[in-house]
Amino acid sequence: MIITVNPATAEPIAEYQTMTSGEIREAITRSYWDYISWKELSISERSVLMKRLAKLLRLEKEQHAALISREMGKPLLQAVAEVEKSALVCDYYADNAASFLKPEESNLGGGVKGVVKFEPIGLVLGIMPWNFPFWQVFRFAAPAIMAGNGIILKHSPNVTGSAIAIEQLFRDAGFPAHLYSAVHIALDDVDRLTGFIIEHPAIQGVSLTGSTAAGRAVAAKSGKALKTSVLELGGSDPYIVVDDADIPKAVDICAAARLLNGGQSCIAAKRFIVQSGVFEQFERLLLQRMQSAVMGDPFDPEIEVGPLARHDLREQLHSQVIRSVAEGARLLCGGTIPEGKGFFYPPTVLSGVHKWMEVYSEETFGPVATLIEAKDDSEAILIANDTPYGLGSAVFSGNTERALAIADQLDAGCCFINSMVKSDPRMPFGGVKQSGYGRELSSYGMHEFVNIKSLCYKPG
């Protein structure tokens, strides 16, 4: 049995029956037969349904946003934006799939013609997290389905309601009834049943967004079964602020990047690496900004920070803060668990952070800002790269050429100049090192789950 809980009140929302291995096998079989018919449709026929899905998301955005806020505590306005972005990615692939999947022709000499075709591979298993319960699903599912594949979704148990709502959206839009199927698995059965699904012969690919530990487990299972996989894992994103940056503007952007979704994002700003000449000013303004952030009921339009998604996540974050203070970090604000219901954690600033402290290089999944001082560009780059992760990064400077030179030396899947890190359907998204491999979004994301087939022949 899965019981979802409202993180703002710690009260149960709903109960869901988990699925047995036999029920999961039946769901995969139904999805496989829908995939067999789906892959024969033209891209233009698929696009009509994907456009309809985007329209439904926009028409029903308020109800889906409310579900997101209830299940994982995201402020309602941010939840609405998440649903709208999910519609955007559906439109993007409906509009661009034909060009992304267009056969590539070439002359190989001697009268031989070469053609590269992009064909569906089968069912793709999506193992998705709770922090963006709609967006994470649609950003992998939209390109995979437009490429002609089918989807089996294993969502995080605490957002089971969202998983069911997305499944219904696909059906309401007119997709084959089981082309996209959600399976419901309790936490204590995840390892066994996920392995069972990956081994099923109809499953030909796996897309996971989650922790690095989960990524290792899924990569091992996928590798053993010889299934292709894309892993988007944790991050400890550095935001470098150099001495010619517009500090008030940088503070506003950095704070927003740390507080978005309560700091519960793989690409949230985690470590602020600030040069000595502007460190004191940045610290003072960031402290003011973090202290002014209003925390409370996610349905209140005036709040900026909602609760963390689960009790255990709050405990884990708090223990990271406590250990760091014990190791010498200066706690400037926050760092205490508030009284009352819900899993709230206040915006927190840790300064004086240095190597060997956990928060120096490890991911903090919550509204905790880590301040690290660097004397110059070279040291800032060294600190930024001194982490096992490599997902997002940002550089703040009044000199674009200087910022780009720093960005070129950062070990990350993406870097933003004078802006917060965000995903965009038009740009590839993913990381390096312990942040995973493979790419989502853009044409690169669509090509992850296709058979790139080479044809060679002599015409006539």
Q: How far is CA 395 from CA 44, 355, 409, 429, in A?
A: 41, 21, 11, 18
**Which string of DSSP letters, residue by residue, matches 391-455?**
S--EEE-S-HHHHHHHHTT--SS--EESS-----TTS-B--SGGGEES-BSHHHHHGGGEEEEEE
179, 149 contact by CB (below 8 A): no
8 A C-beta contact, residue 247 and residue 372:
no
Residue whose entry in the numeric block shows the structure tokens 């994982």 = 72
Contact in structure between 308 and 343 (CB atoms under 8 Å) = yes
Tokens (6 digits) for 276:
């000595």
Sequential DSSP letters for 319-373: HHHHHHHHTT-EEEE--SPPSSSS-----EEEES--TTSHHHHS---SSEEEEEE
Q: Is the dihedral of CA 189, 191, 192, 194 positive or negative?
A: positive
What is the DSSP pairing of strand 348-351 with strand 330-333? antiparallel
Taking the C-alpha atoms of residue 89 and residue 66, their distance in angstroms, rounded to an integer, is 20
Residue whose pair of structure tokens reads 């982490």 in the numeric block: 387
Annotated catalytic residues are 232, 266
User: CA of 186: how far to CAs of 18, 216, 222, 339, in Å?
Assistant: 6, 20, 21, 30
Residues in Cβ contact with 389 at an 8 Å cutoff, skipping those fewer than 6 apart: 212, 233, 234, 235, 236, 237, 361, 363, 431, 433, 434, 435
Under 8 Å between Cβ of 321 and 331: yes
